[in-house]
Amino acid sequence: MPDYHQGKLDTKISKILLIGSGPIKIGQASEFDYSGTQALKSLKELGIDVVLLNSNPATIMTDKDMSYKTYIEPITKEVIKKIIETEKVDAVLSTMGGQTALNMCIELEEENYLASQGVQLLGANVDTINKTEDRELFAQEMKKLGYKSGKRFQAQSEKEAIDLAHSSVAFPLIIRRDFALGGKGAALIYNEAELLDILNTSDIKYPITMEKSLLGWKEVELEVMVDKNRNGVVICSIENVDPCGIHTGDSITVAPAQTISDRAYQQLRTMSLTIAKHMNVVAGGANVQFAINPANEDDIVVIEMNPRVSRSSALASKATGYPIAKISAGLALGMSLFEIMNDITKVSPVAFEPTLDYVAVKIPVFPFNKFPSSSQTLGPSMRSVGEVLALGGSFNEAFMKALRSTEQGLEIPDLTQLKTTPFSIDTEYIRERLSSARELSLLTTLVALRQGITTQEICEITKITPWFVDQMNLFYKMEQALSTNQNLLENRDTFINYKYNGFSDKYLALLTNQGLRTILDKRFELDIHPVFKAVDTCSGEFAATTPYYYSTYADIQEVTPINSQGEKAVAIFGSGPNRIGQGIEFDYSCVKACQLLNTQGKKSIMLNSNPETVSTDYDSSDRLYLTPLFSEDLFDILRFEDPSGVITSFSGQTGINIRAHLEADFRRDHHDFNFYGPTLDILDLVEDRKRFDRLTRSAPLKRTESREIRGHKQLISSITEIGLPVIIRPSYVIGGESMYIFRDHKDIEELPESIKEGLNNSQVVFQVENYIENALEFDVDLVRDNKGNTIFTICEHIEHAGVHSGDSGMVSPPVHTAKEIVARMREIAIKLSNEMEIVGPINFQFAVKGEDIYCIEANPRGSRTLPFLSKASNVNLPGEATKALLGQEIKPIKEIKSSHYVVKQSTFPFDRYIDDSIILGPKMRSTGETLGIDKDLKMAMFKSYLGNYPRISEKGKVLISLANRSKDIMTDYLESLSKIGIRFMATKGNYDFIKSKGFECTLVAKFHGDQNGLAMQDAIKDDELIMVLNTPLNMGTSKSDGEHIRNAAIQYGAPCFTREENIKAILDSLVSYHESEMLPVNLQGITNV
């Protein structure tokens, strides 16, 4: 426990409301679960009762044992006010929930609500928030300090924006919004045509800020902490490899800064602390961003300051070992930096600035493969969904480890490994990529060097600081030397040097035309192994009691394995970077597994690469290795630690894939590891549709016709035999990657590129099978022990089968099927689990049509629904699964009856990828989720939608443009919606239908065709619009007028519902909301009956 000096706290505060950040979305992701969890631990240690509000069920922080009261509710003013009045809190902590929490607190303060309730705002006051979030006010404050803040102007109208662009700002320029999340709405503009386009096709609210672009300047961030006594420390400097113009969340970054002089760093340090104190940051952390003129280090521009914990705070915490969020919570209660002891050393106060004797590199991860129609060009608006962090003794070692950590096959550092690049890459493509600001810019420079492009030309095109390009040139020259002289690796020092510069064994094998086993044998023969070093905040100056570790090819081993202490630990593989299909839900289960081991007195070792998560907090496990989840790196750690066993069941598809590689590439001869859970044969059985189909024949299931095919010819013949519609899918993929539904022959003629590439590769096997239209879908999460005891949980999808389970809304308990059907699904799940001799967790997905039950798939591992169903069932499913994996007996649970309905909805990044269709299908595209809990199903449903779409609670307008087959949906709702004050706008056919039913309606013209009525763009831009209802003419992705309507809704920030099931659910729940009172429910109040 931190050595807090008691008596220094604000004793008037005994109960605090902590506001979380809501669902995982671009710009605000799992780093806030990490920060919030740290803050909860800190406040609990200080004796504070914490009331938590967060709508995200996938987080550790929303576990009911983390807080005094846990409200998984929409983060709205209405909900916050009711919680404050119910719980009688003394204060609200605003700085742990990102932009969402800050914006809510500003609104409450502006209404004078907090003062009226006698509630204190902690962390950041409204004046500070306004002066840092309002770019004009921020510029004025920087001017008072004598600091440059960039050339910026505010425009009140389109005309003024155009005039300013020509007269004052000049192109290229950046448009930014105040109080925006992850640079949302920001755009880099090169000419008047682009300016007019952005002003007329996006959700612009005047006034807008227009800034002179600092394209090509160097960007550096400093993380600072300030306490009530005006003591300040700089935690970390973070340098962006990509130049200004690219959002820092999308840039490759390195800590500490590598290419600025000490004089420049000291200047930045002084400026950042001066700014933080001037802006009245008196209780926690802040992030200050600077632009530095590459031609003159003294020419520094202050870009912005975030007066809260942020994405960069989480990164800095993991890069240094300094727990910014945890310390910020203590500072918010009035403690000073000298009164809080460093958790890792236990002997030094946190007023000592961390020192680093290693290099930390972050690489962001993008979902471009999920959104193939959208531009891949990066800019000032963030688009990445996750990130990895790697530590090394040299920049190249850290960078190459980070590349491996992205899990895109980049242990071979080449762009051809990516799914979003052409199979054949020529110089023309590389030049275009260098000039257009794309992901993995530094890897592109390495490929450019191989293509003969000089370092000077690369720097001129990219504006990347020459030092970073020089590091890639060093790597390239080492490649060349080894390719021409394979005997170089016969020398031990030379071999070590290659490893120290980041060369994986697999890449060394490729460069020397040898097998991986040959390289591994040679490395062992020369006794070359990585050593492990500590992240201890002090470069070894003090002894560390709870450090975490990284590997490097240096000469001093700083770590002794746990088994040398006379005991063995259990190793747990994490799930790697957040990405669509594998997100924070898996990290949740990893942490719950560590917690279970801790309660049983067993040691845990966590291996993961994601700096945003709770699992990579230094006190979540007994030992943490920040490492790529790549077979070579994991092998070296497992060989060193020799754990009693390895759990891969909570690391998603990553764990399954890595386990196969470990056993194939490293197990033979060198080491033998004990993996808990299903055998590789069982893992293969469920991925091999033919084998799995044979298994299911023993169960009372209806089966679809299916074929295993290779190539286009077999695809056509199988479709002819099976008949349309069909679903096509490969095996061993994450989040429905490359899965498509073909409804007619036009779909077959317009094959997606990912399918075309697979069909052209004879090694790629696809499964083609009947697609079941209009079937209900269910997720079953089952835990089984080695004695056959099982825990059964189930939820029903809101969308029909055909929508990826990760994108579907879900309800627990099921509401649209008979108990007998649920009982049959339970019987089938248990029977199949017994036949596979499953030990641990397994997930089944069932489709039900009438009385028929189909098993869509099985996943013999922890699923993304485990956190949701754990909270819905009041059962710690990952914990119970961990017991089963370890061979312990679990208490069987046949059926769980809850006192409440629990509804989950998915959160989508369509506003960042506006060129792609928003129609849902078998390929997952959501980034996060929200939850609604209530005794009334319709109210729980409304809460789940409200967590994503706050505007739907208003009594506003609904825009209706439904396909002919869907118009009758509105018959049941027109009267009830009118009674609660909803007004209708509709396109011609829907307008006539509504008028024929006797209701008032405004005619809206479509984008094409008859232009009578209100312009569609004006209708969608209407501030009173609360939602758009639009079903497509077909369920494909046709670029119809409806597609333009849907895209416009996303561009202007209007919620858009496209499926009949969703439309019925949202309209039912909307009426219920306006006819009754919405009351917050805390998890502690939910019981199993």
The tens digit of pLDDT for each residue in 662-672 reads 887 766 555 67
* 857 among known catalytic residues: yes
Tell me the C-alpha distance between 864 and 688, whole Å.
21
694 pLDDT band, cuts 50/70/90, is confident
Give the residue among 212, 216, 200 at the shortest CA–CA distance from 171: 212
With 0.85 as the threshold, say if the pTM is over it. Answer: yes
- Over range 786-805, report the average pLDDT: 96
Sign of CA dihedral 560, 564, 566, 567: positive
Note the CATH number of domain 15-130.
3.40.50.20
Q: What does the pLDDT read at residue 912?
A: 94
2 pLDDT band, cuts 50/70/90, is very low
Q: What does the pLDDT read at residue 539?
A: 57
Give the residue among 4, 228, 19 at the shortest CA–CA distance from 121: 19
Please pick, among 69, 131, 177, 247, the residue that the annotation labels catalytic: 247
Please pick, among 22, 321, 735, 758, the residue that the annotation labels catalytic: 735
Return the CATH superfamily for domain 152-212: ATP-grasp fold, A domain (3.30.1490.20)
Helix/strand/coil percentages in the chain, nearest 5: 40, 20, 40
What CATH class has 705-770? alpha beta
Please pick, among 31, 73, 304, 407, the residue that the annotation labels catalytic: 304
34 pLDDT band, cuts 50/70/90, is very high
- Over range 822-841, report the average pLDDT: 96
Residue with tokens 């440059």: 148
761 Cβ contact list (under 8 Å, min separation 6): none
* 514 among known catalytic residues: no
User: Given this chain, do its domains 133-146+215-361 and 950-1075 carry the same CATH topology?
Assistant: no
Please pick, among 182, 245, 736, 840, the residue that the annotation labels catalytic: 736
Average confidence score pLDDT of the chain: 91
More reliable by pLDDT, 930 or 94: 930
More reliable by pLDDT, 282 or 256: 256
* 249 among known catalytic residues: no
Q: What does the pLDDT read at residue 42?
A: 94
Least confidently predicted of 269-278, 752-761, 813-822, 857-866: 752-761
* 861 among known catalytic residues: no
* 306 among known catalytic residues: yes
Helices (H) and strands (E) in the chain, counts: 37, 40
5 pLDDT band, cuts 50/70/90, is very low
* 205 among known catalytic residues: yes
Q: Where are the domains of the chain?
A: 15-130, 133-146+215-361, 152-212, 531-675, 705-770, 776-898, 950-1075
342 pLDDT band, cuts 50/70/90, is confident
Please pick, among 777, 796, 799, 1061, the residue that the annotation labels catalytic: 777
* 784 among known catalytic residues: no
* 729 among known catalytic residues: yes
The tens digit of pLDDT for each residue in 135-181 reads 889 999 999 999 999 888 888 888 998 988 888 788 888 887 766 66
pLDDT for residue 30 is more than 50: yes
Residue with tokens 């199949």: 832
The tens digit of pLDDT for each residue in 846-877 reads 999 999 999 999 999 999 999 999 999 999 99
* 735 among known catalytic residues: yes
Q: What does the pLDDT read at residue 669?
A: 53
* 1011 among known catalytic residues: no
Please pick, among 595, 767, 843, 859, the residue that the annotation labels catalytic: 859
Please pick, among 269, 308, 861, 904, the residue that the annotation labels catalytic: 308
* 600 among known catalytic residues: no
Return the CATH superfamily for domain 133-146+215-361: ATP-grasp fold, B domain (3.30.470.20)
Q: What does the pLDDT read at residue 1004?
A: 97
Please pick, among 289, 608, 1051, 1062, the residue that the annotation labels catalytic: 289
* 263 among known catalytic residues: no
* 657 among known catalytic residues: no
- Over range 582-587, report the average pLDDT: 95
Helix extents (H) in 341-491? 395-405, 427-435, 441-450, 455-462, 466-484
Residue with tokens 């056919």: 989
Q: What is the DSSP letter of 899?
A: S
Please pick, among 69, 135, 401, 943, the residue that the annotation labels catalytic: 135
Tell me the C-alpha distance between 806 and 581, whole Å.
7
Q: What does the pLDDT read at residue 254?
A: 98
Q: What does the pLDDT read at residue 736?
A: 56
262 Cβ contact list (under 8 Å, min separation 6): none
737 pLDDT band, cuts 50/70/90, is low
Q: What does the pLDDT read at residue 732?
A: 61
* 840 among known catalytic residues: no
- Over range 766-788, report the average pLDDT: 93
- Over range 928-946, report the average pLDDT: 98
pLDDT for residue 397 is more than 80: yes
What CATH class has 776-898? alpha beta
* 308 among known catalytic residues: yes
* 529 among known catalytic residues: no
- Over range 643-647, report the average pLDDT: 96
- Over range 693-698, report the average pLDDT: 85
Least confidently predicted of 156-165, 340-349, 355-364: 340-349
What CATH class has 531-675? alpha beta
Quick one: fold of 950-1075? Rossmann fold (3.40.50)
- Over range 576-590, report the average pLDDT: 96
The tens digit of pLDDT for each residue in 1020-1057 reads 999 999 999 999 876 444 457 888 999 999 988 999 99
- Over range 826-845, report the average pLDDT: 97
More reliable by pLDDT, 730 or 1003: 1003
